[in-house]
Amino acid sequence: MNYRALIFIFILFSSIAIGMVVHTKNLQENVVKSSALHYAKLYSDALEEFRDLYTSEVVAVAEEHGLQARHDYLNKKAIPLPATLSILLGKRIGESGSGATASLYSPYPFPWRKKDESFKDEFSKEAWAKLSKNPKEPYFKFDIKNNKALRYAVADQMRDDCVSCHNNHPDSPRTNWKAGDVRGVLEIKIPLDKIIATTNNDLKKTIIIYVVLSILGIVGVIIMIKKQKTYSKELEKAIKIRTSQLEQEKIKVERANSAKSDFLANMSHELRTPLNAIIGFSEMMKMGLGGEISDKHKEYAGDINDSGNHLLDLINEILDHSKFEAGEMKLQCEDINLPGLIERSLIFFKEKAMKKQLTISTDIESKTETCYADDMRLKQLLINLLSNAVKFSPDGGFITLATRDTENGMVEISVSDNGCGIKEEDIPKLFKSFKQLDSSNMKKEQGTGLGLALCKNIAEAHGGKIWVESDLGKGSKFIFTMPTKS
């Protein structure tokens, strides 16, 4: 196997694996942060709920029984203040193993809390600045690299049942409190060590899975490449064998085609020699040059002459077709006067048109009066199309021969009639050799099925093309193009 391909595959899978590990690491960090925030919020909500419950239920009942809530409750017959008990509860929870701590600080501390409630660092100052302006949104910061902890702060707002106590206490630093005022900050500190350790274990397992899958992927791709290489070699070998067979078949076909063309050319030549004699002598007999004969015999001689000419036309078509197929047809192209060629071609059909009472008209839209073509072959093409139009047009019908210029430097020539038309499914067969359509109208007319094939050969040999537009029962229009310049 190509070592470059192996290196590429290794680099590809390694890049994918590294990308997945980096992505997983980022996910881990997000999980750590979201988990820590969740714990901190639960912690702060629990402390605030406990403080509310203690204030409304315990402190109120205790005062009714003559007990006071004091900060120095241990030296007096009293119960602790709500804030004091909340801080103690937070410490106890932290000492129990969670590692979390809770603290309260304020710019308005009671005298006995000045040491504990002062702003000790930048975070506490930032927390107070943020929460005093927007007490509804918590303020937090992560320190994953150094202390590996989350510091989560919420506003400590003055409650309705606390306002009176704070405003009337003789040691209160402020006596104009209102419900909802931000008195201080409740900070929860969540250590991240345990959360990171848990997610690190999961991350290790995930990385191992990624590495194993990557190795399996590389091995699988290598196996597939080896199989593909083996298959490619077998396929290449089969293609070479098949190509050799096709080349042999091609040589056989070319030989057979050449032999056929040679045979047709030779047979056409051998047939035309005696046929010309038959045509010539029958013409002489019809004219009475060999002596007077009866009218009946003159009629027989005319039939022999007509049949001979028809047979000669068929032989010529076969010979021309064989030359085109063998690539031996050489064109003698020159500038041809198009209107003159059209007039010369129409002369051949004046008598037949009169017999069938056909109207033949021309529609010359082309401004170009010359085209560059082989005069004889172009006339042969035009006569073939006109002959078909006359042949398949009904008595009293009409035929139109038209020309027009095209945008690509060609002249377009068309022959249209109002004959029987052609079925859509039969159109692809029209220009194939020895193909005659099965239409009942067309069966009446004899031919080799080479006329339109020859027209196609002639048009394409000049660099043009030929096609047909037909509507069954309404007529057909045969169109071909010829170059106007060499």
- Quick one: which of 339, 378, 356 has its CA closest to 461? 378
Average pLDDT score over residue span 69-98? 77
Query: What pLDDT is attached to residue 101?
Result: 84
Q: How many CB atoms lie within 10 A of CB 336?
A: 17
* In the block, residue with structure tokens 């959360």: 195
pLDDT digits (tens, 9 = 90+) for 324-365: 776 767 888 999 999 999 999 998 888 888 989 999 999 888
Query: What pLDDT is attached to residue 78?
Result: 82
Q: What are the DSSP calls for 424-480, one per residue?
A: GGGGGGTTSTT-----HHHHTS---S-HHHHHHHHHHHTT--EEEEEETTTEEEEEE
* In the block, residue with structure tokens 């919020």: 41
Element (H, E) at 149: strand 149-157
pLDDT digits (tens, 9 = 90+) for 26-53: 777 788 888 888 888 988 888 888 888 8
Residue type, 107: P
Confidence tier at 443 by pLDDT (50, 70, 90): very low
Confidence tier at 438 by pLDDT (50, 70, 90): low
Q: Rounded to the nearest 5°, which phi and psi values hold at 484?
A: -95, -15
Percent residues over pLDDT 70 in the chain: 91
Alpha-carbon distances of 372 from 323, 332, 375, 376, rounded to whole Å: 21, 10, 9, 12
Which residues on neighbouring strands pair with residue 371, listed in sequence order?
336
In this structure, the dihedral spanned by the alpha carbons of residues 36, 42, 48 and 54, taken in order and rounded to 10 degrees, is -130
Whether residue 308 contacts residue 277, with contact meaning beta carbons closer than 8 Å, is answered with no
Which residues on neighbouring strands pair with residue 142, listed in sequence order?
150
E strands present in 329-434 = 333-337, 359-364, 370-374, 398-405, 410-417
pLDDT digits (tens, 9 = 90+) for 287-333: 877 777 888 888 888 888 878 877 777 777 777 777 777 676 788 89
- Quick one: which of 482, 426, 435, 439 has its CA closest to 459? 482
